[in-house]
């Protein structure tokens, strides 16, 4: 079964610190990869996505993620976080299943940025 | 567009009662998804529709759960009878085209508490 692993459950850091959230998946074929963010009290929204091409993907709000196929990873990064980046971050993988697709979400990583 | 609309935003009910959650997808989107989010299990796909037809309901936990989409602009998720373990945030999302390659747009969620 497809699974998505997010290594950190809760990350706490100070403003201007760099952030990296790990995401690994267990599927050997072609995948589409997503990072979603959920700000406190809000709904999930897309940060960035990878389908093909350049493995370094730029998203909104200064986030980027790198797809490393050999490592089955899609880690999220931001060089300098702000207090407003406090949120829960979800990695998701869309893989073919029968004649359609399945979307699997990781357990999420809560990021707390201290001012 | 107003985005995906869900109602109610909060629902508190007693065990054994029927609960109906509602969703209005973004106009023109032909895929609609129902998710459940809990601390224990994270974000789970319950069921999804394509052009109002249920495609995959393998995530529906048991027969107490049912979902309908009578037209392109409305869907319901019903729990009858409700149980305390059904307490969760239920999200509706919609997308256009093949959902393996398209972004899902999430609604604000319904926070359900079953006493």
A–B interface: beta-carbon pairs under 8 A: 47
Is the Cβ pair A105, B42 closer than 8 Å? yes
Instruction: State the smallest CA–CA distance between residue A24 and chain B in angstroms.
Output: 16
Instruction: State the smallest CA–CA distance between residue A50 and chain B in angstroms.
Output: 9
Is the Cβ pair A100, B103 closer than 8 Å? no
Q: What is the mean pLDDT of residues B109-115?
A: 96
How far apart, in whole angstroms, are the C-alpha atoms of residue A32 and residue B59?
21
A41-77 CB burial, b ≥16 within 10 A, e <16: eebbbbbbbbeeeeeebebeeebbbbbeeeebbbbbe
The predicted pLDDT at position A97 comes to 62
Instruction: State the smallest CA–CA distance between residue B14 and chain A in angstroms.
Output: 24
Name every chain A residue with its beta carbon within 8 A of the beta carbon of B57.
Answer: none
The predicted pLDDT at position A8 comes to 86
Q: What is the mean pLDDT of residues A9-38?
A: 92
Contacts of B75 (CB under 8 A, 6+ apart): B22, B23, B24, B25, B32, B34, B49, B67, B68, B69, B92
Cis peptide before B81 (omega within 30 of 0): yes
Q: Quick check: A51 contacting B, CB < 8 Å?
A: yes
Lowest-confidence region among A21-35, B32-46, B89-103: B89-103
Residue of B nearest to A96 (CA): B100
* A82: confidence class by pLDDT, cuts 50, 70, 90: very high
* A15: confidence class by pLDDT, cuts 50, 70, 90: very high
* Residue range B57-69, pLDDT digits in tens: 888 988 999 999 9
How far apart, in whole angstroms, are the C-alpha atoms of residue A66 and residue A78?
11
* A7: confidence class by pLDDT, cuts 50, 70, 90: confident
Residue in B100, B105, B107, B108 to test binding to A, most A beta-carbons within 10 Å: B100
Instruction: State the smallest CA–CA distance between residue B84 and chain A in angstroms.
Output: 22
Q: Residue B55: pLDDT above 80?
A: yes
What is the share, in percent, of chain A residues with pLDDT greater than 70? 92
Q: Residue B40: pLDDT above 90?
A: no
- Closest partner residue to B56 (CB to CB) among A51, A90, A100 is A100
What is the share, in percent, of chain B residues with pLDDT greater than 90? 70
* Residue range A25-78, pLDDT digits in tens: 988 778 889 999 999 988 899 999 998 899 999 999 999 999 999 999 999 999
Residue B100's nearest CA partner among A61, A32, A98 is: A32
């Amino acid at each position: 079964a497809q699974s998505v692993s997010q290594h950190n459950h809760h990350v706490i850091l100070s403003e201007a610190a760099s952030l990296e959230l790990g995401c690994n998946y267990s599927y050997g074929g072609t995948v589409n990869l997503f990072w979603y963010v959920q700000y406190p009290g809000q709904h999930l929204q897309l940060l960035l996505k990878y389908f093909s091409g350049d493995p370094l993907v730029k998203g909104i709000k200064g986030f980027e993620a790198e797809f490393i196929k050999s490592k089955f990873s899609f880690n999220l990064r931001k060089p300098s976080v702000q207090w407003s980046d406090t949120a829960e971050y979800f990695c998701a993988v869309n893989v073919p299943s029968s004649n359609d697709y399945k979307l699997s979400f990781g357990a999420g990583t809560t990021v707390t940025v201290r001012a | 567009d107003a985005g995906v609309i869900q109602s109610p935003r909060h629902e508190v009910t007693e065990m054994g009662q029927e609960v109906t959650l509602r969703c209005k997808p973004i106009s023109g989107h032909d895929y609609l998804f129902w998710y459940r989010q809990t601390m224990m299990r994270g974000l789970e796909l319950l069921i999804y529709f394509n052009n109002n037809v249920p495609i995959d309901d393998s995530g529906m936990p048991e027969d107490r759960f049912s979902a309908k989409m009578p037209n392109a602009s409305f869907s319901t998720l019903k729990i009858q009878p409700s149980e305390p373990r059904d307490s969760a945030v239920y999200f509706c999302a919609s997308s256009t085209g093949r959902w393996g390659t398209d972004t899902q747009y999430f609604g604000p969620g319904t926070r359900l508490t079953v006493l």
